[in-house]
Copies of this chain bind each other. A is one copy, B any other.
Amino acid sequence: MSDIRAIVALSELEAADFFPGPMWGELERLLPGYRRVQLPLSRPEDWVRLWRETPAELLVSAWQTPPLNGPLEPDDVKSLRYVCYLAGSVRKLVPRELVDRGLIVTNWGNTIAATVAECALMLILMALRRASYWALAMHREGAWKNGAPTTQSLLGRRVGLHGFGAISQQLVPMLVPFTDQIQTYSPHVPDDILARRKVRRATSLEELFSTSDIVVELAAATPQNLHIVKESHLRSIPAGGVFVNVGRGCVVDEAALLRVAREGNLQIALDVYEQEPLPPDSPFRGLPNVTLLPHLGGPTRDRRRDSGALALKNIRAFLKGDPQEAVINLDTYDRST
């Protein structure tokens, strides 16, 4: 279909997860004569040799792909026109100069939004039901309920979404079977997007936190949002409330979150942290009112194919000279973590 010089640099597992079944065949049809690089490389210097032998225009890449700088010189990759990255942040792979000089870079874009939203719903239900506490007590302490454990339902509750990007938009229909009281604080989202989903606008972060039984943190990790969620916000969540973070750890003042968590009144569920991996001695570990996951939000292994499908679409567009989706520009590059 094309004589374009392409490198597909993925581990076995990445290839199988992102392009399962017939999708791999589709990739091969689009890129006849592509060069397959099995990762990890047995000899790191092969990465430089490869680029000198194969001045590729297109690179299909993921977490295991070695960076496009370091031992590589800018001249080694000057043939490159498009980096199709299958995962999220490209910062470790692509130096800023390449984006600046006009290299096309795409990532998984919004294909992960539905699985992150699903993780948010699960954490809301777990925090309300105290499922993490019980799972641990049942497995490690031979426990059974005694009297009437404090369990809560999502039915009829007020849910507040901080941020209204792709994940929040996927989360709303998952919440609708439980409640019609959904509001968001997201200063730049247009009214019609909220109206279409019957989501109310909160006019401040203070209003969002103080009038939601469940607050879901999904604001972008912009410089303005750094530590924007403060102790006063967390303390204003009504009694019996829940705080879930499946967005970015740095949006929350984590020291304040810990102080509130230690008092035991707020049910908290976290998938993301300021420092990842979460240190083994993190004081969040062991708190019975806190649910902890190791950044498993999205995409689940079985849905990596959604990123693969976007990649195939983007590669097809690239071959035709059409524009791509989920393009990284300097602005999104600088904001990514």
Verify A151–B13 contact, CB threshold 8 A: no
* CB within 8 Å of B: which A148-162 residues: 148-155
The residue of chain B having its C-beta at the shortest distance from the C-beta of A280 within the complex is B142
Check: A128 CB closer than 8 A to any chain B CB.
yes
- Chain B residues contacting A121 (CB-CB under 8 Å) are 125
Check: A233 CB closer than 8 A to any chain B CB.
no
Q: A144-B278, A177-B174 are in contact. Are A300 and B128 (CB under 8 A)?
A: yes
- Chain B residues contacting A294 (CB-CB under 8 Å) are 134, 138, 143-145, 149
Check: A272 CB closer than 8 A to any chain B CB.
no
The residue of chain B having its C-beta at the shortest distance from the C-beta of A296 within the complex is B151
Q: A135-B132, A139-B285, A293-B135 are in contact. Are A118 and B155 (CB under 8 A)?
A: yes
Give chain B nearest CB distance to A23 CB in angstroms: 15
Q: A126-B122, A148-B17, A177-B177 are in contact. Are A293 and B138 (CB under 8 A)?
A: yes
| Complex interface bits, A224-238 against B, C-beta within 8 A gives 1, otherwise 0 | 000000000000000
- Chain B residues contacting A97 (CB-CB under 8 Å) are none
A131 to B127, CA, bound (A): 12
A135 to B278, CA, bound (A): 13
A197 to B285, CA, bound (A): 43
- Chain B residues contacting A285 (CB-CB under 8 Å) are 138-139, 142
Check: A68 CB closer than 8 A to any chain B CB.
no
Verify A134–B303 contact, CB threshold 8 A: no
Verify B118–A125 contact, CB threshold 8 A: yes
* CB within 8 Å of B: which A87-132 residues: 114-115, 118-119, 121-122, 125-126, 128-129, 131-132
Check: A193 CB closer than 8 A to any chain B CB.
no
Verify A153–B281 contact, CB threshold 8 A: no
Check: A323 CB closer than 8 A to any chain B CB.
no
Check: A302 CB closer than 8 A to any chain B CB.
yes
- Chain B residues contacting A174 (CB-CB under 8 Å) are 177-178
Check: A188 CB closer than 8 A to any chain B CB.
no
- Chain B residues contacting A22 (CB-CB under 8 Å) are none
A13 to B147, CA, bound (A): 10
A292 to B132, CA, bound (A): 10
- Chain B residues contacting A240 (CB-CB under 8 Å) are 302
Check: A316 CB closer than 8 A to any chain B CB.
no
A170 to B208, CA, bound (A): 29
* CB within 8 Å of B: which A278-316 residues: 278, 280-281, 285-286, 291-296, 299-303
The chain A residues found within 8 Å of chain B, CB to CB, are 13, 17, 114-115, 118-119, 121-122, 125-126, 128-129, 131-132, 134-136, 138-140, 142-145, 148-155, 173-174, 176-178, 240, 276-278, 280-281, 285-286, 291-296, 299-303
Please list 8 pairs of residues, one from A and one from B, whose beta carbons are closer than 8 Å in the complex, sorted by A's number: A114-B153, A126-B135, A135-B293, A138-B285, A144-B278, A144-B294, A153-B299, A153-B303
Q: Top 4 closest A-B pairs, CB basis?
A: A142-B280, A144-B277, A138-B292, A122-B125
Supplied contacts A126-B135, A135-B291, A174-B177, 15 more A-B pairs, CB within 8 Å: A114-B153, A118-B154, A122-B131, A129-B300, A132-B139, A134-B294, A135-B135, A135-B292, A144-B280, A148-B301, A149-B301, A151-B301, A153-B299, A174-B178, A177-B177
